[in-house]
């Protein structure tokens, strides 16, 4: 069996990845089964460099706040700010502390230096402004969208004034109270002000769409594109806050689904720019239904990868990273009857494997699912192999920097 798998294993290189696919996808998703390990981000960085230099990729998007990521994009494209500033302020979920992320941003700035705008590579966060402890205020997104429109369309077309938005939003700490994540009674998401804000946000987004022929000629394309991001984020956050205030048994399932819906909408917008590498947890990028347990209860929802794959078809491709050991997390060598165990028997420390061919080879063996002693690591589900385009296998993960919290 090991020899059969070895025939499908190749070095982790852009060319080997592309040979697995029918064509160059607009979105190439690289998942990881755990967060906070720089070794995995270093593999991602090298693959992105090769995709840029050999395959024409121009964007990398990671599982980080989509609004904060604008500062990183400004830095790598135009040099606005400093590397220290964007690492501190341009990432959510602790990602700014990663040495590998810092190296990615440094390399992107160096690559873009002196290049004309059409040839520059871009950075994006594609997660919503959400944390495990709650959600951000919709103020930034709502007021930025209103400001963009008020400077470019007839004032009489606007559904409200900036002062009205400010009054309805109130203090930001009303929205960001971490107690609301576990107790809906603390959420303001279904207050009268929040309901009015949802209507106004919808009207502002509709006005942005209606005025598109004017806006894309009167302003730079990037400004209009950012306004669309503000609109998606404002409506998504208000919808998320609404469900934070819900008391039904469906509350947590809806919140998980809404987060991935926001991710999917951002990814579909990024696909309009051209080919991009996407990096996030396997659970967000897989085509199969996502699952987890929250407060002891099982949750199931369709993740961003499933949603995007439905829309893009073959122009979405998914590589799942699979691990052998994370010994500093208590994850030792995998049992030989698991997918991880079979891959661990290969001589390579890192390789790319054809997942559908592996699924066919294992059809009669039915490998056992691996059980992780570490809650932050999700082994691959053998039943998902046929829906994965390729596996990036990393045999051993040494200890790295502080873990991210995404």
Query: Could you read off the pLDDT tens digit of each residue along the chain, which spans 406 residues?
Result: 555 677 778 999 999 999 999 999 999 999 999 999 999 999 999 999 999 999 999 999 999 999 999 999 999 999 999 999 999 999 999 999 999 999 999 999 999 999 999 999 999 999 999 988 899 999 999 999 999 999 999 999 999 999 999 999 999 999 999 999 999 999 999 999 999 999 999 999 999 999 999 999 999 999 999 999 999 999 999 999 999 999 999 999 999 999 999 999 999 999 999 999 999 999 999 999 999 887 778 899 999 999 999 999 999 999 999 999 999 999 999 999 999 999 999 999 999 999 999 998 888 888 999 999 999 999 999 999 999 999 999 999 998 655 444 5
Q: Which residue from 9, 72, 21 is spatially nearest to 51, judged by alpha carbons?
A: 21
**Contact assessment for residue 12 and residue 352, using Cβ atoms and an 8 Å cutoff:** yes
> What is the per-residue pLDDT for 44?
98
Distance of CA 260 to the CA centre of its chain: 8
Instruction: Using DSSP, state whether 246 is helix, strand or coil.
Output: coil
Predicted TM-score of the model (pTM): 0.95
**Contact assessment for residue 274 and residue 58, using Cβ atoms and an 8 Å cutoff:** yes
> What is the per-residue pLDDT for 1?
53
> What is the per-residue pLDDT for 31?
98
> What is the per-residue pLDDT for 131?
85
* Vertex 277: Cα angle to 76 and 405 (nearest 5): 80
Q: In whole angstroms, how far apart are CA 340 and each of 19, 62, 313, 354, 382?
A: 23, 25, 28, 14, 10
> What is the per-residue pLDDT for 347?
92
b/e map 321-358, b = 16+ CB within 10 Å? bbbbbbeebebeebeeebbbbbbbebebebbbbbbebb
Distance, CA of 146 to CA of 200 (rounded, Å): 10
b/e map 217-255, b = 16+ CB within 10 Å? eeeeeeebebbbbbbbbbbbbbbbbbbbbbeeeeebbbb
Task: Tokens for 297, please give them.
Answer: 């209860």
Residue 174 class from Cβ within 10 Å (0-12 exposed, 13-18 middle, 19+ buried)?
middle
């Amino acid at each position: 069996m090991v020899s059969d798998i070895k025939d499908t294993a190749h070095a982790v290189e852009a060319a080997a990845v592309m040979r697995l696919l029918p064509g160059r996808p607009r979105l190439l998703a690289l998942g990881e089964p755990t967060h906070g390990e720089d070794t995995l981000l270093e593999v991602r960085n090298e693959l992105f460099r090769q995709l840029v230099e050999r395959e024409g990729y121009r964007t990398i998007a990671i599982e980080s706040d989509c609004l904060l990521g604008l500062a990183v994009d400004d830095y790598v494209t135009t040099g606005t700010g400093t590397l220290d500033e964007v690492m501190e302020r341009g990432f959510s979920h602790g990602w700014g502390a990663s040495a590998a992320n810092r190296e990615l941003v440094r390399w992107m700035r160096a690559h873009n230096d002196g290049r004309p705008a059409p040839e520059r590579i871009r950075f994006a966060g594609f997660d919503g402004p959400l944390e495990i402890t709650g959600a951000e205020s919709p103020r930034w997104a709502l007021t930025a969208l209103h400001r963009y429109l008020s400077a470019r369309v007839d004032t009489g077309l606007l559904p409200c004034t900036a002062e009205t938005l400010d009054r309805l939003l109130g203090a930001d700490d009303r929205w960001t109270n971490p107690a609301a994540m576990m107790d809906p009674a603390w959420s303001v998401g279904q207050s009268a002000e929040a309901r009015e804000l949802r209507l106004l946000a919808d009207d502002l987004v509709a006005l942005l769409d209606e005025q598109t022929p004017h806006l894309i000629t009167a302003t730079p394309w990037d400004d209009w594109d950012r306004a669309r991001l503000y609109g998606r984020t404002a409506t998504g956050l208000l919808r998320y806050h609404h469900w934070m205030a819900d008391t039904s048994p469906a509350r947590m399932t809806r919140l998980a689904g809404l987060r991935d819906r926001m991710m999917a909408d951002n990814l579909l917008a990024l696909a309009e720019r051209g080919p991009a590498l996407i990096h996030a947890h396997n659970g967000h990028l897989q085509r199969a239904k996502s699952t987890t347990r929250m407060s002891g209860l099982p949750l199931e929802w369709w993740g961003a990868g499933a949603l995007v794959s439905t829309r893009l078809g073959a122009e979405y491709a998914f590589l799942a990273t699979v691990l052998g050991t994370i010994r500093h997390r208590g994850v030792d060598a995998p049992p030989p009857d698991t997918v991880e165990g079979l891959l661990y028997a290969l001589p390579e420390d890192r390789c790319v494997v054809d997942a559908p061919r592996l699924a066919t080879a294992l059809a009669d063996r039915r490998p056992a699912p691996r059980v992780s002693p570490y809650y932050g690591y999700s082994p691959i589900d053998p039943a998902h192999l046929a829906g994965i385009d390729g596996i990036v296998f990393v045999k051993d993960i040494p200890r790295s920097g502080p873990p991210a919290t995404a």
